[in-house]
Structure 1
Amino acid sequence: MASANLTHSLPSVFLLQGIPGLEAYQLWLSMPVCTIYVVIIAGNCTILLVIATEPVLHRPMCYFLCMLAAIDLAASTSTLPKMLCIFWFQAGEIRAGACLAQMFFIHALCMMESAVLLAMALDRYVAICFPLRYSSVFTGSLVAKMGVASVVRGTLLMGPCPFLIRRLSYCQTNVIHHTYCEHMAVVKLACGDTSTNRAYGLSVALLVIGGDLLCIGLSYCFIVRAVLRLSSSEARLKAFGTCGSHLCVILISYSPALFSFFTHRFGHQVPPHVHILLANLYLLLPPMLNPIVYGVRTKGIRERVVRVFLPARLTAEPRLG
């Protein structure tokens, strides 16, 4: 439903094209996307279930992990079903209100996830640098307040975006060259002045990604300094080991986001399908890999999952000696 001369108001319907230039391969791309979505649902639901049913895991870092799992489930569910409809049935039509809602939830949830990763870095900083004060500082009340603060920050920062989109003039096309309603992909459809929207998007991205990464980096500088002061090499390895999962998740979460951000802003010679694939990786990889990383590296979670899914094998193993 792409027309050459639309009205100057927001179109009633947008058309998501999918991945321009790779239309012939979208059916094949749907297979790994569908598999990843199943893994996301299974992995994050398992993390939530295990932590909820295992009293020994009722501690601050695991509460943050539950927040991360819930955000990953919400973010992937807001995009992947529609993406699969585009790949399978060429059903790219989406109403303007649904498009703006999808845009809001995608970006707001990403901001919330960044805030939770920052809170987890602060948790590790207090646990390693001030171990005697950890239990009195990181209480359940503080964790709850941090969770609420992450939701409020994401909502407030992303709240103006749909209204800024509505004020633009649209007079050329309603085809969005993307698999979901990404902010800049919708802004590019406007035929008027979009400098306010572009400045807003850039400012929020720098505030969230830049600010959170700076604070996470500072916390780990203090952590490394504190760990290196430990006299025992075993204690140093143990201290670094408690941060390993979180560092892996930070790399998984921020690397695709930074690649997508810089190629979108400065990679004008990069083909459009590369931009879109990077943007999709940002929404696919972290929700899929986060529960795997924590499931493998967190002893309590790993043991609980093994007891649930492999009870017969464990009980059937003969004792040696």
Structure 2
Amino acid sequence: MSDLAERCDMAAMQEHETVLLHPAVDALVTDCAGFYVDGTFGRGGHSRLILEQLDENGRLLAIDKDPGAIKIGQELSASDARFCIRHGAFSDADQWVAPGQAAGILLDLGVSSPQLDEAQRGFSFTHDGPLDMRMNPEAGESAAQWLGSASEKEIADVIFQYGEERFSRRIAKAIVMQREDQPITRTLQLAEIVKQANPAWEKHKHPATRAFQAIRIHINQELLSLQELLSKSLQLLKPGGRLVVISFHSLEDRMVKQFIQKQSRGDEFPRDLPVPESALNPRLKKIGKAVKPDAQEIARNPRARSAVMRVAERMA
């Protein structure tokens, strides 16, 4: 990495503000000697505060797809023997965590500020860069590659399902028409196509917001990864262990909410079958209500405004 790139990376670390930092760590850490998992290390905000709460016997495993995050995590690991980081998806946490080992699992979903602000990553519709959008740019298909080969229907479905964009068909049609003349390889190129195809702009929101979000979610299989981790969390958490999830998208939050509700009810039986509550076998207990950033945090960090945190505890 060049000196300029290193300075840019350090600047991004300083500018990035971790959302719901203290509420998340306060909800997560119930045993200062426990083993914890930060499934989305990012730039390490949550991890550093977790380590402050742990004693010399506590341990923290962090996971991230982003090579930039891994580099920062390795530096932290070199200075704190209680911490280690793994390069991969949090949905694969069972590769590094034994059943019943985790005292807590934390997920801070979505894309981080450094990823958004670094044009070369291809997440931003306001900074021109290669149309990539991969959390791990070393693996998988980029957004440009996918948009170059996907059918119009597939593109429309992704933008509608993951972006909840009501003009998804118009946008998909415009993308396919444009790629027949010229490959779509730049972020601002795609943003302009979406902008021109969107007939009704939402106030205070860029017209490409929903489409970019949807394509990013699809490229990184974010909802599938979340679904897999939620299911695995039941085996990885020890009794009393906490699951803490911060989401920024209504589909993610709905998935987390419904999972906690279902596991709090326990096994499903026919409605007319008389089953005592003791036989329902609930696996999770909801802890408190959904938490959102307060006005002061949103004023400091406008990107926090859509964050929702939910907490559940593994039952015996």
TM-score by length of 2: 0.29
Name the one with the larger strand percent.
Answer: 2
Ranked by relative contact order (alpha carbons within 8 Å, sequence separation 6 or more), the top structure is 1
Larger Rg: 1
